[in-house]
Structure 1
Amino acid sequence: MSTPVITWREAWRQPAFRARLGVVLALLLTLAAVLPRFFAWVQARHGRLLPDPLLALLPARDVSGLTFAVIYLGIGLGVVTLLPRPYPLLRALTAYLLLHLLRCTTLALLPLEPPIGLIILRDPLVEQLFYAAPAPITKDLFFSGHTATLLLLALAVPAGWRRRVLLAATLAIGLLVMMQRAHYSYDVLAAPLFAGLSFWLAGRFIPTPPNN
């Protein structure tokens, strides 16, 4: 017989779970508070313009509406799937925190100018809550956070149709942000590596019981 999924009531009885969840949530809130200044600094720097033969093969289109429809539907599917599963949710939150820390590191180390032909990718929710700035943020390039986040959710949910949908959404977003010229192809191709690393590292801190 398979082991039943651990419920929130069972997980909450464990001090280690409560402590890890509290730390991760506190760190995520702290990160959210400092991101606006960080991205303003990133935007103000002079960066390097990269040649990108793969990007040149794709048509340039404004696909903001479709992009964020896919992103938010994918996030919704991931959240709804993970909410009843406290340990996978905690691992996903930990991986998301690590993903952002890695992304801040790569952005700090690799200042870039946006690709030629950039079409501004508008996300009202994120711009209002995190990236608030007088001008759009266009230099948050390496690596693609949208692509990495959807792949991270695909890794976090149980195997099955939800994972397949999220993997398809990841591929779609990678293509769409390149068509928008919001990212280089290098940003998109690197995203799975950082998503996989973040999820693996989170698993070292948050062991997930079987069938959870």
Structure 2
Amino acid sequence: MVSTSLTWPEAWRHGTFRRRLLLVLGLLLGLAAALPRFFAWVQARPGYRLPDPLLAALPAHDVSGPTFLVIYLGIAGGVALLLPRPLRLLRALTAYLLLHGFRCLTLALLPLEPPAGLVLLRDPLVDQLFYAAPAPITKDLFFSGHTATLLLLALAVPAGWPRRALLVATLAIAVLVLVQHAHYTYDVLAAPLFTGLSFWLASQLTASVARESAARDRE
């Protein structure tokens, strides 16, 4: 296994790392710019309402506060651990880009109506920046982006208690979005599959950067 412990000065010396990082950041910025119109289109389409026995048996409650407290603490902790580790950060950003690509694809292919009993999940940050639409966005369903994001961070950070903490946070978010009836059970169950695929693909795409950086450092 190639080491991912290079420092920023060491990693930045390598042109491949710089080009990959700038490319991924540019694509993420482009994606962020395109998301408002995409989600407005998703919201305007008619969709299907799926039967969900678990949600039918689970009373709905507004848990937006705890949900976003866990999400933003998890993101802050994960990013703080990744920032000093450039190769891990590049892999995580690449996986995040792929994850959102998969999510846009699944949202485009599977139009859904919100689950019965939905309590609107209000994100104080994302609602203002990305989901610019005349009405609240409730149809961004398959798959759960909140669950997937925290799981991705858990995979990306070094092993140990931070990873275990992020895994617990991922489980908590999976439960909370179901309590809110903000997602179908299927959305939550699918999130780990797409997260694992995105992280694996990102690992393949960034492995050459790590190998090249290690080889040049040995010269």
Give the distance between the partners of 2:138 and 2:145, measured in 1 at CA: 13
SS of match in other structure, 2:102: helix
Give the distance between the partners of 2:70 and 2:57, measured in 1 at CA: 23
Question: For residues 1-212 of structure 1, what are the structure 2 equivalents within 5 Å?
Answer: 5-207=5-207, 209=210
AA paired with 1:11?
A: A
Give the distance between the partners of 1:45 and 1:66, measured in 2 at CA: 30
What's the TM-score once normalised by structure 1's chain length?
0.96
SS of match in other structure, 1:51: coil
SS of match in other structure, 2:30: helix
Relative to structure 1, the CA distance from residue 19 to residue 4 in structure 2 (aligned partners, 3 Å threshold; closer, same or farther) is closer
Q: Shift of the alpha carbon at 1:209?
A: 4.8
What's the TM-score once normalised by structure 2's chain length?
0.93
Give the distance between the partners of 2:116 and 2:158, measured in 1 at CA: 39
Superposition CA RMSD, Å: 1.3
AA paired with 1:54?
A: L
Relative to structure 1, the CA distance from residue 4 to residue 125 in structure 2 (aligned partners, 3 Å threshold; closer, same or farther) is closer
Give the distance between the partners of 1:110 and 1:15, measured in 2 at CA: 40
AA paired with 1:141?
A: L
AA paired with 2:39?
A: F
SS of match in other structure, 1:206: helix
Deviating more after overlay: 200-209 vs 14-23: 200-209
**Unaligned ranges ≥5, structure 2:** 212-219
Give the distance between the partners of 1:36 and 1:99, measured in 2 at CA: 17
SS of match in other structure, 1:5: coil
Per-residue CA shift, 1:45-67, capped at 9, x if unaligned? 00000000012232211000000
Per-residue CA shift, 1:21-68, capped at 9, x if unaligned? 000000000000000000000000000000000122322110000000
AA paired with 1:130?
A: F
